[in-house]
Chain A
């Protein structure tokens, strides 16, 4: 089992829709969780950290479920510009570097 797993998608949604991605992790001792956004042929850009209490930034909401070992990202009122690959990242069991999932591809259509 890979340490961090994501549904690769693609998720095709119309503008204005709400879409949610999940990411599961295998190491129950993981402490840090992040969502990154990556556009085609660009570097990953930090979207948001995921805290135990969950956090919200505008249209984006991230949640952590330690019991089931997954994190989620909810995007409300999708925009065309939200089209990208969303990578989840979890700190490695051996320290502070991150294990990344393969990413979930989102395409928002007019």
Chain B
């Protein structure tokens, strides 16, 4: 069974530029999560989707971050404009349903210069 797929794996952009990350969850997983992980820290939730509905986005900086999961499968996370402090690893995870074990994708390592 394929795991969570993310792309790109690495991205380097200049500050103030836009950037987008894509995630394809494990087939059949209804719940999708975007996390941010800084060096030496655990992942921190940005947003959680139940199917196509964002049910927990309280940690998402909405002035510059947006996300969508239009058909309840793939998801895109966007930053516009990026700031130096956004440099981190952006992890996507999925679970069969809320409360079940979460499985992570390989992440996108973002560097903002």
Contact = CB atoms under 8 A, between A and B. Distances in A.
Quick one: which of B44, B56, B102 has the most chain A CB within 10 A? B102
The prevalent SS among residues of A at the interface is loop
B101 A95 contact: no
Nearest to A103: B42
Contacts of B45: 92, 97-99
A66 interface: no
Contacts of B105: 43
A100 B102 contact: no
Interface residues of A, number: 25
B26 interface: no
The prevalent SS among residues of B at the interface is loop
B42 A97 contact: no
B56 A100 contact: no
B107 to A, nearest CB: 5
Nearest to A2: B42
A62 interface: no
A89 B40 CA distance: 15
A4 B42 contact: yes
A100 B44 contact: yes
B42 A42 contact: no
A95 B104 contact: no
A100 B42 contact: yes
B22 to A, nearest CB: 15
Contact of B104 (A31, A45, A92, A99): A45
A32 B99 contact: yes
Contacts of A99: 42, 45
Nearest to B38: A102
A46 B102 contact: yes
Nearest to A34: B101
A101 B48 CA distance: 19
13 contacts: A4-B42, A44-B91, A46-B102, A46-B103, A89-B42, A91-B99, A94-B58, A96-B48, A97-B33, A97-B45, A98-B43, A98-B45, A103-B42
